[in-house]
Amino acid sequence: MKGTIEEAKATLGGEDFLTLLDFSPKEIQSLLESALVLKQQQKNGTFSEALKGKSLGMIFENASTRTRVSFEVGMTQLGGHALFLSPRDMQIGRGEPIKDTANVLSRYVDAIMIRTNSHETVEELAKYASVPVINALTDAYHPCQAMADLLTIYEHKNTLKGLKLAYIGDGNNVAHSLLAAGAKVGMDVTIASPAGYEVDQTIFNRAVEAAKETGAKLELTQDPAVAVSEADVIYTDVWASMGYEQEQNERLQLFADYQVNETLVASAKEDYLFLHCLPAHRGEEVSGEVIDSVHSAVYDQAENRLHAQKAILLSLLSEK
């Protein structure tokens, strides 16, 4: 494994970080190796000044715990600085065109991280910004979360290729990014969602095409029992993501058979790993018995947002 901060730098072909589908399997592996090195350095109390003098502008249209704290702390630990930017306090919240915001911020900061509702927004921001843009969550993808997920699975299973991950629940941005992640690292992914709440077919088709390079098997089903059968990893998310809170009561009924509980996980592998991107609603998408069991790695997963994002920041902002 690479040991120094210079050796740990991942090299990405793209200038932005919008979706894992934009990167090669080799680039994804390079990011994971970098994250592992950075995590070990932190445990040793060693911090780099690789991003000294660099600034990250962080635009948040939605509430955040893990994303905001991990990016802000990550920049600090790499010697840089992060600025929290709320649309309520910016002109973008009063109708300033994204093009203008992108051009102006590019003259102030070295990179822009955005957590927004529409994926078109982050794509437009990246189009006009002259600095790297990082997708910290859109309605279509959550690539930073997926990198932390891969890092967590690798740490617990010592491999990624050939594993089976079962995602149970809404076919949302997390599900989309897990499909992309599996396709890039050769991990089989099965998504089980109720009718009408499946993943986006275009995104699924893109992931299937990408999976041809690694041999990953990607599948969709409406039967959660089929998905978790012999699974190495079981993953779920809230049934009503941000922006869909008004559908909470309706979804509680529609998703009732999709709860990850002790009955469902019985058909998974004996040493299965449970993941959840948090926040979790115990008693809804997952039972307390599962999320608080020895199989659960949700806090490792949350911590790994920091290390994975430091690897992303280092790859985009350090001198090539």
141-200 residue pLDDT tens: 999 999 999 999 999 999 999 999 999 999 999 999 999 999 999 999 999 999 999 999
Instruction: Read off the pLDDT of each residue in 230-235 and give the average, rounded to a whole number.
Output: 99
Comparing CA positions, the residue from 233, 239, 249, 245 lying closest to residue 284 is 239
Determine whether 88 is an active site residue: no
Q: 151 with 191, same domain?
A: yes
Q: 161 with 292, same domain?
A: yes
Q: What is the pLDDT of residue 320?
A: 52
Determine whether 277 is an active site residue: yes
Contact 32, 51 (CB under 8 A): no
Which position among 16, 41, 77, 115 bears the catalytic label?
Answer: 115
Q: Is 248 annotated as a binding residue?
A: no
Which position among 41, 145, 259, 301 bears the catalytic label?
Answer: 145
What's the CA gap between 266 and 286, in Å, rounded?
14
Q: 49 with 121, same domain?
A: yes
- Name, in order, each residue with C-beta under 8 angstroms of 206's C-beta and a sequence gap of 6 or more: 21, 180
Determine whether 94 is an active site residue: no
Q: Which domain holds residue 60?
A: 5-141+303-317
**Residue 8, both tokens:** 């740990």
Percent of the chain with pLDDT over 70: 94
Check residues 198 and 46 and name the one with the higher pLDDT.
Answer: 198
Which position among 142, 176, 276, 295 bears the catalytic label?
Answer: 142
Instruction: Read off the pLDDT of each residue in 6-16 and give the average, rounded to a whole number.
Output: 68
What is the chain's alpha carbon radius of gyration, rounded to the nearest angstrom? 19
Q: What is the pLDDT of residue 91?
A: 78
Question: What's the pTM?
Answer: 0.94
Which position among 119, 139, 277, 295 bears the catalytic label?
Answer: 277
Q: 136 with 154, same domain?
A: no
Contact 21, 206 (CB under 8 A): yes
Give bridge partners of residue 55 from the DSSP assignment.
Answer: 81
Q: Is 145 annotated as a binding residue?
A: yes
Q: Is 107 annotated as a binding residue?
A: no
Q: 149 with 297, same domain?
A: yes
Q: What does 144-210 look like in DSSP terms, one character per residue? A: HHHHHHHHHHHHHHS--TT-EEEEES--SHHHHHHHHHHHHHT-EEEEE--TT-PPPHHHHHHHHHH
Q: 100 with 221, same domain?
A: no
Q: What is the pLDDT of residue 78?
A: 97
Write the CATH number for 62: 3.40.50.1370
What's the CA gap between 112 and 122, in Å, rounded?
10
Which position among 251, 276, 305, 307 bears the catalytic label?
Answer: 305
Q: 154 with 289, same domain?
A: yes
Q: Is the pLDDT of residue 1 over 50?
A: no
CA angle, 223 then 229 then 233, to 5°: 105
Contact 139, 118 (CB under 8 A): yes
**Cis ω before 279 (30° cut-off from 0):** yes
Q: Is the pLDDT of residue 233 over 50?
A: yes
Q: What is the pLDDT of residue 168?
A: 98
**Residue 130, both tokens:** 């002259």
Contact 220, 152 (CB under 8 A): no
What's the CA gap between 305 and 176, in Å, rounded?
18
Q: Is 287 annotated as a binding residue?
A: no
Q: 190 with 239, same domain?
A: yes
Q: Is 277 annotated as a binding residue?
A: yes
Q: Is 66 annotated as a binding residue?
A: yes
Q: Is the pLDDT of residue 5 over 60?
A: no
When pLDDT is cut at 50, 70 and 90, the band that residue 13 belongs to is low
Q: 310 with 251, same domain?
A: no
Determine whether 145 is an active site residue: yes
Q: How far is CA 99 from the centre of its chain?
A: 26
- Name, in order, each residue with C-beta under 8 angstroms of 100's C-beta and a sequence gap of 6 or more: 91
**What are the pLDDT digits (tens) for 50-95?**
999 999 999 999 889 999 999 999 999 999 999 999 888 887 767 8
Task: State the DSSP H helix or E strand holding residue 31, giving kind and residue range, or none if neither.
Answer: helix 25-43
Q: 62 with 163, same domain?
A: no
Q: What is the pLDDT of residue 3?
A: 53
Domain count, the chain: 2
Q: 50 with 134, same domain?
A: yes
Which position among 110, 149, 170, 237 bears the catalytic label?
Answer: 237
Q: How far is CA 100 from the centre of its chain?
A: 28
Q: Is 58 annotated as a binding residue?
A: no
**What are the pLDDT digits (tens) for 263-284?**
999 999 999 999 999 999 999 9
Q: What is the pLDDT of residue 12?
A: 74
Comparing CA positions, the residue from 102, 113, 107 lying closest to residue 58 is 113
Give bridge partners of residue 236 from the DSSP assignment.
Answer: 168, 276
Instruction: Read off the pLDDT of each residue in 288-305 and give the average, rounded to a whole number.
Output: 98
